[in-house]
Amino acid sequence: MKNVTLKQDDTSLVVGLAGRIDSNNAAEVESEIQQVLGGAGKGPLVIDAEELEYISSAGLRVILHLRKSHQELSIINVKPEVYEVLDMTGFTEMMPVKKAYRRVSIEGCEVIGKGANGTLYRIDKDNVVKVYNNADALEDIQHEREVARLALVLGIPTAISYDVVRVGDSYGSVFELLNARSFSSMIQEEPDKLDWCIHEYVDFLKKIHDTRVKEGALPDMRDTAIGWAKFMKDYLPEEAGSKLLGLFEAVPVDLHMIHGDYHTKNLELQNDEVLLIDMDTLAVGNRIFELGSMYNAFIGFSEVDHEVVKRFQGFDFETSKTFWHKALELYLGTTNADKIREVEDKARIVGYTRMIRRSIRRKGLETEQGRKEIEHWKKELLELIDKYDTLLFSVNELVVEAKKENLQNVIDFVDEHLEKTECPMKAEMQIDMAVEEIFVNIASYAYAHEDNIGKAVIRVETLEDPLRVVLTFMDNGMPYDPLAKEDPDVTLGADEREIGGLGIFLVKNTMDDVTYEYKDGRNILTIRKNL
């Protein structure tokens, strides 16, 4: 058996040592090493000891000679027995020495999760292994272990890898997940637990999004997302591509945590505790990036082929849609259809951008199915780009078309927020009346001279000391100050009265404060009501 082999990668010379190196063959091995290095290129020297079974002091002298002529010498894949000899004799202090990784077989193992960077297998009832797609994944594994520790320190329950192993030609991280079950498997096997899973899923998501991270500790998803949008400029009409990039660039830097791949296969229930796994996508950024990824997992990837989610999550497309919509409603804290649709649409902009780029990079344009999906996602994306001027959203803001048919949706949205304050019935009726008068006025006149119906924004805020509700109405219509109009003379008889003006009069006389300003091309009318 040959004791020495040589290969050269992009950065170093790798000498493989095999079998035994002792007094009987040390001189021969050293001669072989010098021979193979004689015709090799330049670069740091690495000894791969994966096949080295035994080394004596004679073999150590061979390594010492190499160290003297190659100052950057390192040794990798060292078996425990050989490592013990190297450590005992001080070689681990002289040069970098890395132990070999134990090998794990995944043959016949259950797949319990699959993400962009790897697949999770259960190797026994207590342990799982995440096998990385990248065959040279040691840096990826180190990154994931570091961010998982960071998340745990910040109060996010997660499993921490306790071992790194070789799996086939790749590497894997081993986690202890004692009898844990993923939310996907619970939904599949116990459909009656769907609502419980949704509530736990949303509560955990809010915990993640409420966690602020030190600047630079995690990757910034905003930078990544801007890269997606720049990629898309070559595949969209020029105006749409520029607007899409502008939407992403306008999202401010946000140091709150996001998971990046938050779906039901990445939540595990272990001994009544919910754990988050697959942490390599952990980042910081605006929550719209998280919602875009979530939309893809539950709906986006399966819009053309409904079987995709069945293969990925284990439950059918209808269940997946139900989960997404209930989770979004619970996360936003509203049942208002317009508000939910607005946030979902903005998540879809992020989601479609990401999916199209991903498919194109994976040669989707070269297959019939890929082209079909890309065409569908692109059509939806172009419609949404035309519809929105920002990816940002607020749970206390509603954006609707300024038309009278949307009045009830606006009132319902305001009343939802009033109910949380235990607003007295009389005050609620007065506020509803004011909302009607102001919104109908915007719907009737703000965009009267334009071909398209514009948008109205209604913001509801609750303030304390004293407890009061502040409602702000904004539109981009023609400038108009309703407070500038003189109040009607309510002492006049019916024949003497002028038609109009009573609406804003009622608003001014039932609210505690009413103000107007025209700023940045918008009419802004604010009303305040003490409770």
Q: What are the φ and ψ backbone dihedral angles of 49, each rounded to 5 degrees?
A: -100, 20
pLDDT digits (tens, 9 = 90+) for 460-507: 998 888 889 999 999 999 999 988 887 765 555 545 545 555 788 889
To which CATH superfamily is domain 4-99 assigned?
A: STAS domain (3.30.750.24)
Residue carrying structure tokens 């879809």: 348
Q: Peptide bond preceding 219: is omega within 30 degrees of 0, i.e. cis?
A: no
User: Does residue 279 register a pLDDT over 60?
Assistant: yes
Residues 316, 187: Cα–Cα separation, whole Å: 10
The model's confidence at residue 112, banded by pLDDT at 50, 70 and 90, is confident
Report the candidate in 436, 432, 435, 454 with the shortest Cα–Cα distance to residue 445. Answer: 454
Taking the C-alpha atoms of residue 80 and residue 94, their distance in angstroms, rounded to an integer, is: 18
CB atoms within 10 A of CB 137: 22
The pairing of beta strand 468-475 with beta strand 170-176: unpaired
Look at phi and psi of residue 216 and say left if phi exceeds 0, alpha if psi is from -120 to 50, else beta. Answer: left
CATH number of the domain at 397-530, please? 3.30.565.10
Q: Which amino acid is at 473?
A: F
Percent of residues, the chain, with pLDDT higher than 90: 63
Q: What pLDDT is recorded for position 288?
A: 98
What are 228-238's pLDDT values in tens digits?
A: 999 999 999 99
* Nearest alpha-carbon partner for 78 in 39, 46, 105: 46
User: SS3 of 129, please?
Assistant: strand
Phi, psi of 299 (to 5 degrees): -130, -50
Report whether pLDDT(181) > 80.
yes
CB 304 within 8 A of CB 294: no
CA pair distance 268, 185, nearest whole angstrom: 9
pLDDT at site 101? 84
Report the distance separating Cα 313 and Cα 266, nearest Å.
10
Q: What is the pLDDT of residues 345-358, one digit of tens each?
A: 999 999 999 999 99
Between CA 315 and CA 189 the distance in angstroms is 9
Residue ranges with strand state E in 247-314: 257-258, 267-270, 273-276, 283-284
CA distances from 460 to 103, 180, 473 (A): 58, 42, 9
Least confident of 5-19, 70-84, 374-388: 5-19
Weakest mean pLDDT among 67-76, 111-120, 508-517: 111-120
CATH class of the domain comprising 110-176? alpha beta
Write down the domain spans for the chain: 4-99, 110-176, 186-387, 397-530
Report the pLDDT value the prediction gives residue 510, as an integer from 0 to 100.
93
The pTM of this model reads 0.75
What does the alpha-carbon distance between residue 189 and residue 187 come to, in Å, rounded to a whole number? 6
End-to-end CA distance of the chain: 89
For residue 37, pLDDT over 70 is answered with yes
Interacting residues of 130 by C-beta distance below 8 A, sequence separation 6+: 113, 118, 119, 120, 121, 161, 172, 173, 175, 278
- The answer to whether the beta carbons of residues 142 and 132 sit under 8 Å apart is no
For 463-467, which contacts have Cβ atoms below 8 Å and span 24 or more sequence positions?
466/530, 466/531, 467/421, 467/530, 467/531
Strand (E) or helix (H) holding 260 = none
CATH classification number, 186-387, choose in 1.10.760, 3.90.1200, 3.90.320, 2.115.10 = 3.90.1200
Name 121's Cβ contacts closer than 8 Å, sequence gap at least 6: 106, 109, 110, 111, 112, 128, 129, 130, 131
